[in-house]
A and B are shown apart, each in its own frame.
Chain A
Amino acid sequence: DGGITQSPKYLFRKEGQNVTLSCEQNLNHDAMYWYRQDPGQGLRLIYYSQIVNDFQKGDIAEGYSVSREKKESFPLTVTSAQKNPTAFYLCASNRRDSMNTEAFFGQGTRLTVV
């Protein structure tokens, strides 16, 4: 089955640690996205990538980094510079060549700082 896989489902981070969230898709989509979800704030865009080896900052990129070395993979690193990383993180993908196609989402990773 085609889809997006995020791992792990739950992640605990100590203060000062960097952690990496995995996102893999087998939909052959060029575009991939990372969103952060906090209660009452909807989804906010962290980073997005339209093609391999290229990515753009979203609205809340500070304290995060990404890479796009393969079409299928778009990992997100939450660095120690992110002051309030506890949130639900969602990865998504869609076709790059069309405005009218829907995005597909992974099941999310819940990150908690302990």
Chain B
Amino acid sequence: AQSVAQPEDQVNVAEGNPLTVKCTYSVSGNPYLFWYVQYPNRGLQFLLKYITGDNLVKGSYGFEAEFNKSQTSFHLKKPSALVSDSALYFCAVRDIRRGFQKLVFGTGTRLLVSP
């Protein structure tokens, strides 16, 4: 089965500093990887995805993610953090079984950006 792991429950960073939120994956076949962000009491918003091609994927709100096949990682990054980036971030992988596809999520990482 496809799975992703987010090893950090929380990441703290000062505003203006670069941020990284980690995600590792375990898949058979080609990985279809996604990052979502969730603000309090809201649904998930799509940030970016890796399907194939360039290992550096650019997404919404200045976020990007680096796909690393040898390390089976898909870390989310931003060069300069904003206080408004504080939220819960989820990594996900698309799984397909018997013709049915679904998203499998990590446990989430809370990002706290301090002024």
Q: Which residues of A contact B (CB under 8 A)?
A: 4, 6, 31, 33, 35, 40-43, 45, 48, 50, 56, 58, 88, 90, 92, 96, 99-100, 102-108, 110
Q: Is the CB of A105 within 8 A of B107?
A: no
Q: Which A residues lie within 8 Å of B96 (CB)?
A: 99
Pick the 3 closest A-B CB pairs, nearest first: A105-B43, A42-B107, A100-B51
Contact of A99 among B94, B104, B106 (CB under 8 A): B94
Main secondary structure of the interface of A (DSSP, over half): strand
Chain B contact residues (Cβ within 8 angstroms of A): what range? 20 to 34
- The number of residue pairs between A and B whose CB atoms lie closer than 8 Å in the complex comes to 60
The smallest beta-carbon distance between B21 and chain A, in angstroms, is: 14
Contact of B102 among A58, A90, A102 (CB under 8 A): A58
Q: Is the CB of B46 within 8 A of A100?
A: no
Q: Is the CB of B42 within 8 A of A33?
A: no
Given A40-B9, A90-B43, A108-B42, are A99 and B107 also a contact pair (CB < 8 Å)?
no
